[in-house]
Amino acid sequence: MRATADHWQPRRKLVNKLLKKIKAALLLLRLRPFDTSTEAGRSKERLRRAAITTVSAGGARAIAVLASLVTVPLTYHYLGAERYGLWMVLISIIGMMSFADLGIGNGLVNAVSEAYGRDDQKKATEYVTSAFVMMVGIALALAALGTIIYPFLPWMRLFNVKSAPVAAEGASAFLILFFSFVVSIPLGVVSRAQAGLQQGYFPQIVGALGSVLTLLALLVVIAVHGSLGWLVFATTIGPTVGILLNARVLFREHPWLFPSRDAYSSSSAKRILKLGLMFFVLQCAFAVSYSSDNIVITQVLGAAAVAAYAVPQKLFSPVSTVVGMAVAPLWPAYGEAIARGDVTWVRRVFRASLMLTLGLTIPICAFLAAAGPYILRTFFGKSLNVPISLLVVLAAWGVVNAVSTVISILLNGAGVLRAQVGIAIIASTINLGLSIFLTRRVGIVGVCAGSLVSQVFITFPFDYLLIRQLFARLSIPQVELCNSQNLLSQQ
C-alpha cells in the first residue's frame, strides 16, 4: 500500500501545482486594476490585462468559429469548388496586401506602449495623430492606384480560370474587397492604439458583434441567391461596423488621444515610420511565406484544387489563432516592461508562454490530424477529397506556427527588428521556392511542407540566437537603465 501511495505522490504534486496555477490565473480575471506603484503590482496588472484580452478574444473567436462552421460549408456548396476557391484566392491577395500600411500600425503599438511605460500622454497623442495622418495618405494613394490599374489587370490569367464570366465575377468581388480594405487602413489606428495601451480586449468584444452581423448578412445574400460580389460585400459589413463602434469606445475613455492638427509631430511621425518600415519588411516576408499558399496552388494545380487545401487548413487554423490571442497582449506588455526596466518579468513570462504553447498545441494538433477525415466527411461529405498526408503536415505546421508566434511577440515587443528582417527575407525566399518545387512534385502537400522546412531549419536557429542575445543584453545593469530610452530606437 505504501508503494502505491509513493507511486501516486508525484502525480498528486503535479496536479496540485497545476491547480494552484489555474487558481492564480483566475484571480487575475477581475475588473478592478492592481496597484501599479510597485513592480509586483505592475506585473499583476500586465497579466490581468493580458488575461482579460485573451478571454475576450477567445469569446470573440469562438463566436467567429461557430459562424464559420455555418458559413464555410454553406458557401462551399453554394458557390461550388471553383468559385469557392476563387473566393479564397481573393482573400489571399488581400492578405498579402495587409502590409500596405507600411508597418505603421505595428510601429504605433511599440511607440504607444513605450510612451505608456513612461506615463507620457502627450507623446502618446502625438504618436496616434501622426500615425493617423500617414495612414490616411496611404489609403488615398492606394485608392487612386487601384482605380487606375483595375481595368488593365489580366483577371483570367490571375485567377487561372477559363471562363470569362467567372473571371469577371471574381474581378468585381475583388474591387469590393479592395476598397473595404483601403478604408480599414486609417481606421486601424484605433485598435493599434488600444493594443499599445494594453486594452486589446475592447476590439475583441466589439469584433464579436461584427462576426454575428457578417453571418446574418451572408445568410441573407445566400437566401436571395446573390453573386460572389454580394457575398464578399456581406463579409465587410461586420468588421466595418465593429471598427466604428470601437473608435467610439477608445475616444470616449481617452478623449486626449483623438487626432488633432496641433498634435501632429514630424519627429513622432519619423519615429513611427522608422519602426513601421522594419515591420513592413517583416510583414512582406511573412505574406510571401504564409499568405501565398492558395496562390501557389492556383498557379500550379488550378483554382479548383485550392478548396482541397484551404478547407482542411481552416481545421487547424484555430490552434495558431488561439495561441495568437493568448500571447498577442504580451507584445505591448513586453515593451512597457522593458521601458520600466522590469526585465525579470519579461524573462519569466516568455518562458512560461513557450512551455504552455508546446504543452497544448502538440496534443491538440495530433488529435485534429487523427480525427480530421471524420470531421471533414461529416461537414462536406465525399465531395471534398483530402489526403491524410496533408492533415499530418498541417498538424506539424500548427505546432511550429504557434511556437513561432510566441517568439515573434517577444522580439517585436522588445524592438528586435533589424535581425528579424534579415532572417525573414532569407527564409521567405527559400520558403516560396521550396513550396513551388514541392507542390509540383507531390501536390498540395508540398505547399505546406515548404513552409514547415524553412521555419524549422532556417528561422528557428536564428531566433534562438536572437533570444539569447536579447536576454544577455537586458541582464547587464547599464543596459537595463538605458533600455527604457534607447532599446527600440537602437533596433
Q: What is the pLDDT along the chain (491 residues), one digit of tens a residue?
A: 455 555 556 656 656 655 565 566 666 666 677 767 777 777 877 888 888 888 887 788 788 778 777 777 777 877 777 777 777 777 777 766 766 788 888 899 988 888 887 778 888 899 999 999 999 999 999 899 888 988 888 877 777 777 778 778 788 888 888 888 888 888 888 988 888 888 888 888 887 887 888 888 888 888 888 777 788 888 787 788 888 888 888 888 888 888 888 888 888 899 899 888 888 888 778 777 767 788 888 888 887 778 788 888 888 888 887 888 788 889 899 988 888 888 888 999 999 899 989 988 999 999 999 988 888 888 777 767 788 889 999 999 999 999 999 999 999 998 888 899 889 889 888 988 998 999 998 888 888 898 899 999 999 999 999 999 988 888 765 444 444 444 444 44
pLDDT of residue 361: 92
51-95 pLDDT, tens digit per residue, is 888 888 778 878 877 877 777 777 787 777 777 777 777 777 776
- Whole-angstrom Cα distance, residue 238 to residue 293? 26
Return the closest-CA partner of residue 258 out of 183, 193, 329, 184: 193
- Whole-angstrom Cα distance, residue 223 to residue 250? 36
pLDDT of residue 480: 43
Q: Which residues contact 283 (CB under 8 A, 6 or more apart)?
A: 98, 99, 103, 106
pLDDT of residue 485: 42
pLDDT of residue 170: 80
Residue the block writes with cell 507511486: 7
pLDDT of residue 489: 44
For 18: left if phi > 0, alpha if psi spans -120 to 50, otherwise beta; the answer is: alpha
Cell, residue 336: 512597457
Structure pTM?
Answer: 0.71
| Rg from Cα positions in the chain | 23
pLDDT of residue 354: 92
User: Long-range contacts of range 459-462, CB-CB < 8 Å, 24 or more positions apart?
Assistant: 459/404, 459/423, 459/424, 459/427, 460/403, 460/404, 462/419, 462/423
